[in-house]
Structure 1
Amino acid sequence: LDELSGRQKQKKWFWRKTKPRPTEWSLPGGYRVVTTYDRSDLIKRSIATLREKLIEESIVVALVCLVFLWHIRSGLVAIITLPIAIILSFVPMYRLGLTSNIMSLGGIAIAIGAMVDAAIIMVENAHKYLEHFRDGKGRDPTPAERVQVIIEAAKSVGRPLFFSLLVITVSFIPVFSLEAQEGRLFKPLAFTKTFSMLFASLLGVTLVPVLMVLLIRGKITPEAKNPLNRFLIWAYQPFVHFVLRFRWLTLIGGCLVVAWVFYPWRATVTDRLQKSGTTALASFSEKYLDPLFPFQNLGKEFMPPLNEGTILFMPTAVPGMSIGEATKILQIQDRLLRQIPEVETVFGKAGQSETPTDPAPLSMFETVVTLKSHEQWRPGMTWEKIVAGMNQKLKTPGMANIFWMPIQTRTEMLTTGFRSILGIKVFGPDLGVIQDVGVQIEKALSDFPDTRSVFAERTTGGYFLDFKVNRQAAARYGLTVGDVNDIIETAIGGKTISTTVEGRERYPIAVRYARDFREDLDALKRVLVATPAGPQNSATVNAGSENGNGETASVMGAQVPISMLADISYKTGPPSIRNESGQLVGFVFVDITTDDIEGYVRAANQRINEMVKFPPGYYVQWAGQFEYQQRAFKRFLLLFPFTLLIIIVLLYLNTKSVVKIAIVLLAVPFSLVGAFWLLYLLGYNLSTAVWVGIIALAGLDAETGVVMLLYLDHAWEKFRSLGRMNTMGDLQGAVIEGAVQRIRPKIMTVCAILFGLLPIMWSPVTQAGADVMKRIAAPMIGGVVTSAILELLIYPVIYVIWRSREIKRLQKPQIGSCPDLM
């Protein structure tokens, strides 16, 4: 969905929308032209949704800075940096030809919180350095000293922040590898998010220090005098003392929390209880214990549909429906649809348009149902309830109902050939047997749970008028098979014989019989065919030729009915022949009511294997969105190790320590706990959009892990420089200072990311573009929360265990040198 860009395009679009149509000028009184489907409104609404969220996120992030720093000038550093980074990200978008659309703006929307992290941490660190200067010197710094202190504060955190933002930038590499529909959908998002984070990284080490020098001045409120900071220190300190006291218990608890989320309880316990015959225990486990393990309960789908505000109703019947019957059923369905209060307009079409790109048969209807705005719906009415009501009202015998949306349908039909969410391809060597297998599948799934409709394509159900030329009869009249076929083409189908030129216009001249002479089978049999003999050779022809019955056939340039030259009859055959991978294939269209595509396919496969008998050489393959979902997931699995390797290299360039890299990457499983729990509680399925959010979350995990570890390292270095790192008590004191006393920048980083994403989640479900963006933001929100909690509790424990080995090494020489000191 691309927004019209450029002044000329906008003018042309506005002119087309407002100028009276030329056809209206020539219509008689009482007639008017009505727009049945207008995509521009969806485009405008979708762009407006993302624009609104960008503004809300910017305001929320600015408030986070002001509340934690309690200094308006300092908050301006992040507030100024954010729009500059966003504006700069539009420059490469313009150069690459990326338009302003739902996904490109969505990339900026999910990056806003992380874009200001560098500015937030550097400003907060400058505040802390200025506070330490005032406490140590007993006075405020001079202007020159203030600049020097701010520069030192920026240098102390600049390198790790730059690399952490760079990790977020490169973490989106797997998204660039997506193909086909998912690639076209998510690559704009990946581009804009990458551009945004890249410019945020560059501004963090260039513009932010300059703004800090210019704006951080005046009275700086000490951290201890901010009530919010005092509360955070008061609440966090007891937990740190507890986890450092019970270190191994804390680690075991963290491992159990992660394992709890991913443990396959249903497969290892519930299913075994059912197989062993303990029905009561199995039922108890299924009802009360299975829901406690979130990952196993998540369904899988390809993509949540974009709510277009318009429904495309596509019922399909078996081939052979007449024009009169199709018109009658179409009008009945349109009247029934118009009776629904939420429907604004209904426009139905049966058969194909006058274009070679629309090969739809008469048996396939396409009805565009435009809904009113959500404010005009009945109380409590939802999109799902409207579709369910339509399906219940439009139960037409012999027709399978399919409900989709116009853009979604066109995209799916162009890429997969299916006009339903799921499809089944039946492969085999014979079309008749393929149809039989397809009909068996249709019967097997017609009453299957979560199935709205299922329709097997009739591969041999087309009706054709067949002309079979009698070669002997044609030769008797001096005609060839080609001569007879030329008459069939000219008289019945129409043949272009010339072109008329009218100014700059060209029109073909086609000749064929009038409708009265070709409207039924008897009329077609009377079509006359001219024989090649003429009056000039009548003497020769009068000699005649004797046929096998002893009769003489006169061929004096006569015109004979085509029925004497060919057998004409109606025959059935394939309406279309599909070929894939060198084999014949038939389609079965499956429309479902559940979002869990993989779960439905797994259960439906079991039903098909039980009820359908496949002859040797015939097999089925699931297609549609299931095929897309499987392909995208395999692509992610293939490129994830490569992306992880790049992240590890960047982290090593920053930390120069394998242990620190391992500690930072521990944030990933911690974050997945909250990501999958929130997805489960919201009822979201695992989809390509969700995996994109999880990939973005992995980059955020690396950043928050770097920030958490950064202040622990600062405290460690501080205590060592003061000669206070001699015992385990000193180590624990350093860790407590690095964890508790520096809680403000850590929480600021988390809150900036978290509150920057929350505006996406409170969008109404009917808002255009909201469904896709919610699936991306949900795992990021849940993951950031649990990652922050577990990092605040477990990182100090791991750090103490790691650094304790160095303390023990330091203690050994001291013990050996005690006698000499005495």
Structure 2
Amino acid sequence: AKATLHGDGWLVRKLKAVDARLLHWSFDHPRPVIGLALMLVLLAGVSVPWLGRTFLPAFNEGTVTVSLILPPGTALSESNRLGTLAENQIKSVPEALSTGRRTGRAELDEHAEGVHFSEIDVDLAPSERGREVILGELRRALAVIPGAAINVGQPISHRLDHLLSGVRAEIAIKIFGDDLETLRAKAEEVRQRITTVPGLADLQIEKQVLIPQVRIHIDRGEALKYGLSLNQLSETLQAALQGKVVSQILDGQRTHDVVVRLAEEWRAESGDFGDILIDTPKGKIPLKLVAQVEETTGPNLINRDNMRRRIVVLANTQGRDVGAVVAEVQQRLAAMPLPAGYHLSYEGQFRSQQEATRLISLLAMISLAGVFLVLYSHFRSVVLSLVIMANIPMALVGSVAALWLSGQPLSVASLVGFITLTGISARNGILKISHYLHLVGQEGEPFGREMIVRGSLERLTPVLMTALVAALALVPLMLDADAAGKEILHPVAVVIFGGLISSTLLDTLVTPVVILLAGGKAMEQSLRTHGTTET
């Protein structure tokens, strides 16, 4: 009958009885309660820098992209042979269902590559083995390919890495300078210094190497004797060696360019270049009469960022977070001497993670200020607003603990979860304090222990219900963390779930104690200036 009158079932009555005993004990021991809360918040804050760091959680795309990079100048036949060998090695991994390979990319492609570069897409079967285990086995299987640099990743991840740093790897160490030979030497020194860093995989230097080239030095004096200008000679040589579009052929709705250039056997033998006939006002003459042709070596490519020459040492991570790997890499390279005018730049996911952390930290400060202004506009009390906002660091305790227990690194996704908690965790304090004000202002309850106990018990059910509903809604996102599509939402759910638990439990004791110690005058001021409107 009593349960019916009060509308409480046996479970709620039990919870309220326990809560009442805890509240009375907390009122008698305020220092241990507040001290414990402060200690937990401090421990959580101190442990945050020790969490792993990455830009975004690792994706589970169900497909792997393997980049096979051979020395520039490798013939198409050899590249095809080694590409076939790579596909056979990949198929030795149980999860590899099928492969598809692209060797080289067209010259007009956005990311043009020579035939020394192959991309192999691997379709993976569902497996109980983790993604890192499968990628590790793929790397070991491909290690037998001679002279090849291997980069193992996933399609979306590769594209994301390329957007972030211009290379298809998680970590990009860019060396800037003027002399290409010095850049290559320093890149090799970087590679040797960091090759034993734990967690580093697919370590390689951007394929900037010396390849055979033909250099043509035009003798301006001799050219003028035959009535030739440098522009005429350049156009003739370009047409002979690279080709020139002279017409088009219509084929239905399609058009085909007609390109004139030297036959393949002439272009393949640099020793014959001097015999190329050049049209002059005095008739045809061999090129060697007006130019010196020599065989030499030169770089296969020259890359620049912001008008500065650079070379890249690139790598992925395996079994360790990006932040920890880059921190150790920076430590090993800190003492490496660089010539004047040369410098290193750490880019890729590490740099993006740092930039995102700074931006999200700024947004967090703005959101905290916004929450405070909204609370103050309602309660008209700095003290009451700060008491409510004390739930935010108490939520941090559970969030950090949840990240540690789940093994999740600190990423953009988890940082978004922390910002989301600023509003969710303040809700419990709002429910309680607005009810305290209602009891004092509308029901005439005198401020003191009994009023706070009554208000806390009457708000226990809605506080637990809202926390429980939110927590249950997050459970599907927390299960099967490696499932495709959950990579971003799982860390958010882990952070919010942990924060809900700690803020709800700590708020049960801390908020009533703080209100009893410092909320009397603040509540009186709030009632006098604003009245009471229960939330």
Output the TM-score relative to the length of structure 2.
Answer: 0.91
1:629 Cα deviation from its structure 2 partner: 0.8
Give the conservation status (yes or no) of the 8 Å contact 1:320–1:461.
no
| 3-state secondary structure, aligned to 1:770 | coil
Distance 1:685 1:651 in 2: 32
* Match of residue 687 from structure 1: 411
**CA–CA distance in structure 1, aligned partners of residues 238 and 361 of structure 2:** 56
Structure 2 partner of 1:241: 24
Equivalent residue, structure 2, for 1:256: 39
Is residue 678 of structure 1 aligned with residue 402 of structure 2? yes
Tell me the alpha carbon deviations over residues 519-560 of structure 1, each in whole angstroms, 9 at most, x when there is no partner.
Answer: 322444443333422xxxxxxxxxxxxxxxxxxxxxxx3x44
Q: 1:621 to 1:697 in 2, by over 3 A?
A: same
Matched, 1:737 2:442: no
2:356 to 632, 635, 638: 632
CA drift of 1:637 comes to 2.8
Matched, 1:490 2:239: yes
| Further displaced range: 423-432 or 481-490 | 481-490
SS for the counterpart of 1:518 is helix
The one-letter amino acid paired with 1:392 is R
Match of residue 617, structure 1, among 341, 348, 351: 341
Tell me how far 1:672 sits from its aligned partner: 0.2
Q: Secondary structure at the match of 1:620?
A: strand
For 2:497 and 2:211, locate their aligned partners in 1 and report how far apart those are by CA, in whole Å: 54
Question: 713, 737, 741: which one pairs with 2:437?
Answer: 713
- Counterpart of 2:486, as a letter, is A
1:697 corresponds to 2:480: no
Q: Counterpart of 1:402 in 2: which secondary structure?
A: strand
Q: Distance in 1 between matches of 2:355 and 2:506?
A: 33
Kept after mapping to 2: 8 A contact 1:314/1:401: yes
Distance in 2, Cα, partners of 1:709 & 1:597: 43
Matched residue SS, 1:429: coil
Render the CA deviation track for 1:638-684: whole Å, top value 9, x for unaligned.
33333222221111222122111011100011000000011011111
Cα offset for 1:322?
2.8
User: Does the aligned pair in 2 maintain the 1:312–1:369 contact within 8 Å?
Assistant: yes
Aligned to 1:818: none
Contact 2:69 2:118 survives alignment (8 Å): yes
The amino acid that maps onto 2:412 is T
Query: How far apart are the structure 2 equivalents of 1:776 and 1:696?
Result: 9
Q: Residues 733-757 of structure 1, C-alpha deviation per residue, up to 9 Å, x if partnerless? A: 1111111243111101111111111
Single out whichever of 636-645 and 624-633 deviates more from structure 2. Answer: 636-645
CA contact (8 A) 2:437 2:523 kept: no
Q: CA deviation at 1:784?
A: 0.7
* Equivalent position amino acid for 1:685 in 2: P
Deviation at 1:221, TM superposition (A): 6.1
Q: Kindly indicate whether residue 258 of structure 2 is the aligned counterpart of residue 509 of structure 1.
A: yes
Picking from 109, 122, 133, the partner of 1:385 is 133
The 1-side partners of 2:4 and 2:299 are apart by 81
Specify the code of the residue in structure 1 equivalent to 2:12: N
- For 2:474, the equivalent position in structure 1 comes to 757
User: Does the CA-based 8 Å contact 1:708-1:791 persist in structure 2?
Assistant: no
Alpha-carbon distance in structure 2 between the residues aligned to 1:393 and 1:806? 69
* Corresponding residue of 1:270: none
Larger CA deviation: 657-666 vs 481-490: 481-490
Give the aligned residue type for 1:580. D
- Secondary structure of 2:268's match? coil
Aligned: 1:329 with 2:46: no
Once the two structures are superposed, what CA deviation does each residue of 1:240-281 show, in whole Å capped at 9, x if it has no partner? Answer: 121111122211221122122233xxxxxxxxxxxxxxxxxx
Which whole-Å CA distance do the structure 2 matches of 1:598 and 1:238 have between them? 46
Structure 1: which amino acid aligns with 2:329? A
Residues 646-655 or 686-695, more deviating: 646-655
Amino acid at match of 1:793: L
Moved more, 426-435 or 382-391: 426-435
Distance 1:503 1:364 in 2: 35
**Distance (whole Å) between structure 1 residues aligned to residue 427 and residue 212 of structure 2:** 65
Find the counterpart in structure 1 of residue 374 from structure 2: 650
Contact in 2 for aligned 1:431/1:460 (Cα 8 Å): no
**Which residue, 765, 773, 794 being the options, matches 2:489?**
773
Q: Distance in 1 between matches of 2:519 and 2:384?
A: 11
Equivalence for 2:532: none
Question: How does 1:409-808 map onto structure 2 within 5 Å?
Answer: 409-459=158-208, 461-502=210-251, 504-533=253-282, 557=283, 559-610=284-335, 612-717=336-441, 721=444, 725=446, 731-765=448-482, 767-803=483-519
Aligned partner letter, 2:278 = V
Q: Do 2:471 and 2:500's aligned partners in 1 also have CA atoms closer than 8 Å?
A: yes
Letter in 1 for 2:451: A
Work out the CA distance in 2 between the residues paired with 1:806 and 1:386.
Answer: 60
- Distance (whole Å) between structure 1 residues aligned to residue 523 and residue 407 of structure 2: 49
Tell me: CA distance 1:806–1:300, structure 2 relative to 1, closer, same or farther (3 Å). Answer: closer
How many Å separate the matches in 2 of 1:808 and 1:649?
A: 20
Whether the aligned pair in 1 keeps the contact of 2:51 and 2:410 (CA below 8 Å) is yes
More strand by share: 2
Number of the residue aligned with 1:364 = 117
Q: How far apart are the structure 2 equivalents of 1:416 and 1:789?
A: 44
TM-score, normalization: structure 1? Answer: 0.60
Q: Partners of 1:790 and 1:439 in 2: how far apart?
A: 54
Conservation of the 8 A alpha-carbon contact between 1:675 and 1:783 = yes
Which secondary structure state, in structure 2, belongs to the residue aligned with residue 351 of structure 1?
Answer: strand
Unaligned runs of 5+ in 1: 1-130, 136-219, 264-293, 534-556, 810-822
| Structure 2 Cα separation of the partners of residues 576 and 321 of structure 1 | 15
Please state whether the residue corresponding to 2:176 is helix, strand or coil: strand
Inter-partner Cα distance in structure 2 for 1:594 and 1:763: 19
For the aligned residue pairs, the C-alpha RMSD in angstroms reads: 2.6
Deviation at 1:594, TM superposition (A): 4.1
Q: Percent identity?
A: 24
Deviation of 1:503 (Å): 5.2
Deviation of 1:626 (Å): 1.0
- How far is 1:504 from its partner? 4.4
TM-superposed CA distance for 1:761, in Å, is: 0.4
Q: Is the 8 A contact 1:432 1:460 kept in 2?
A: no
Q: Is the 8 A contact 2:70 2:117 kept in 1?
A: yes
Deviations 1:296-326 (A, max 9, x none): 4301111113221111111334433332322
Structure 1 contact 223–229 (Cα < 8 Å) conserved = no
Q: Cα 1:468–1:799, aligned 2, differ >3 Å: closer, same or farther? A: same
- Equivalent residue of 1:780, what SS? helix
In structure 2, what is the Cα distance between the partners aligned to 1:740 and 1:464? 85
Give a deviation string over 1:710-761, Cα, whole Å, max 9, x none. Answer: 3333333455x2xx52xxxx72111111112431111011111111111110
Structure 1 residue 628: Cα displacement:
0.6
CA distance in 1, matches of 2:99, 2:220: 53
Distance 1:339 1:738, change over 3 A: same
| More helix as a share of residues | 1
CA change 1:240–1:562 in 2 (3 A) is same
Task: Give, as a single letter, the amino acid of the residue that structure 2 aligns with 1:306.
Answer: F
Amino acid at match of 2:435: Y
The question of whether the paired residues in 1 share the 8 Å contact of 2:246 and 2:259 is answered with yes
Compared CA separation, residues 690 and 564, structure 1 to 2 (3 A): same
